[in-house]
Structure 1
């Protein structure tokens, strides 16, 4: 915990390492997570479809960040964290204006069945 996934259009100019460092700092400072518990997976998508536009035109780019936390954070804490995530995306994605960038973030409570192991 936290379990973080970042789904994004492959063609984005995205400083993923810098984003992950900033994101982990924000999760620790805002949501009281432990630094060593922060794990982020980036999942670039080959095709991003938007409305009826032709995906081959690359006119739209999408990035969505999902953060799974153990239950107990207030709605205010979650909103503060998603706001910080969106600011970090602005800082770490170079938008050249060719594509419209659609960025979003959400916090989810991990199910009580959540378990993990480390070896």
Structure 2
């Protein structure tokens, strides 16, 4: 089983090849290929690699599928006895990426 823990968009995500994930929006068009090179942990069957903080020469090749918006979050603030209420919403901009492979860089 091949998997890696990748830092993308300020979050750490456990990724496997052939699956898609939602991360914070990246500046790429749908259909573009991107590489995630901040690999924190890598496992290839019985071989384990741990970065300090990142592992050099390993990257994940990904394809941007589409840009989406996350679930709506309602922010409600109220101060009792002051007649103050505030209701706002927020939807995070996200990108759906497909992890095609996790490879070592040959130089």
Please report the TM-score for the alignment, with normalisation by the length of structure 1. 0.28
Pick the structure with greater CA Rg. 2
Which structure exhibits the higher relative contact order, with contacts defined as CA atoms closer than 8 Å and separated by 6 or more residues?
1
Higher strand share: 2
Higher helix share: 1
